[in-house]
Amino acid sequence: MRLRIPAELLEEIVSAASESNVEVCGFLFGERRGDEWVVRKVTFVKNRLNSPTAFEMEPEDMVKALDDAEKENLEVVGIFHSHVSCPPRPSSKDVKGMTLWPVPWLIVTGHKVAAFMLEKGKPKEIELKIISRCQSSRTLP
């Protein structure tokens, strides 16, 4: 498994995470090609918990993001969020979320980034390949 993301989109996520004292979160939209998940668009979603240690996506923002992506013929190819002060590894709450959203999860702490998927109920780090060319939609709540 591999997550391919344009450098510009990854930088948007890293920049937003480093500027925030709460966890930022959102969707990675694109297409799946075999064992690759290819990111074409990043959409930030409001963290309704407004917390430095946890996130929950605002339901209305989620629906809008999903509707917009569907209109563009894009599918969910990942979930992203930041950790403010702990390493970019899935927490137990993240693992629960990964069971509901079985796509790659991109986690950012500072300038450290890692991608994970569940394998036999446990998070496994997957390859993260940074590419060029993108479509952007950064709207921070």
Which residues form the catalytic set? 23
Tokens at 34, concatenated? 């075999």
Longest dimension (CA), the chain: 37
CB 64 within 8 A of CB 114: no
Helices (H), the chain: 7-19, 59-71, 92-100
Q: Which amino acid is at 116?
A: F
Which residues 6+ apart lie within 8 Å of 47 measured at CB? Answer: 22, 23, 24, 25, 55, 56, 57, 58, 81, 141
